[in-house]
Amino acid sequence: MTFSQEAIEIIDGKNFAYLTTSMPDGSPHVSPVWIDRDGDTLLVNTVPGRTKQKNISRDPRVAISMTQEKNPYRHLFIRGKVIEQTQQGALDHINRLARKYLGKDYPWTDRNRIILRIEPKSVKIILD
């Protein structure tokens, strides 16, 4: 699935994403996350063993909601699945995300990171 220019503007901007995964009992778990993209896949960086990572290891389906910071009436909704979990390049990736969101390298000491690569299946954008 190819992102529209409007979707790319929201994803590439300094906009937080809310990642929804499924708990073992089927209930939703929502986490605010930093996000970016690699072509037409989305990348989220986390620590192995966190709830979201455990959930997607069991059920890779996810939903993502984003609101544009400069216009909170622009919404992006994505459904997809995690197609890869990798630690390769994860420390460089968290620094890239930190520069996007904080304007500097990642200031915390988590040395064990993992990238979740998400393939979108459905993308909906609301432009108000």
Tell me the CA distances in angstroms from 15 to 7, 32, 38, 75, 86, one per residue in order. Answer: 11, 10, 16, 11, 24
* Single pTM value for the model: 0.94
Look at the domain 5-127 and name its fold: Pnp Oxidase; Chain A (2.30.110)
8 A C-beta contact, residue 117 and residue 43:
yes
CA-to-CA distance for 60 and 37, rounded, in angstroms? 18
Q: What is the pLDDT confidence band of residue 42, given thresholds at 50, 70 and 90? A: very high
Q: What ranges do the domains of the chain cover?
A: 5-127
Q: What is the pLDDT confidence band of residue 107, given thresholds at 50, 70 and 90? A: confident
Tokens of 124: 């909906």
Q: What is the pLDDT confidence band of residue 40, given thresholds at 50, 70 and 90? A: very high
Average pLDDT over residues 69-98: 95
pLDDT over 90 (residue 127): no
Place of tokens 């997607």: 56
pLDDT over 90 (residue 128): no
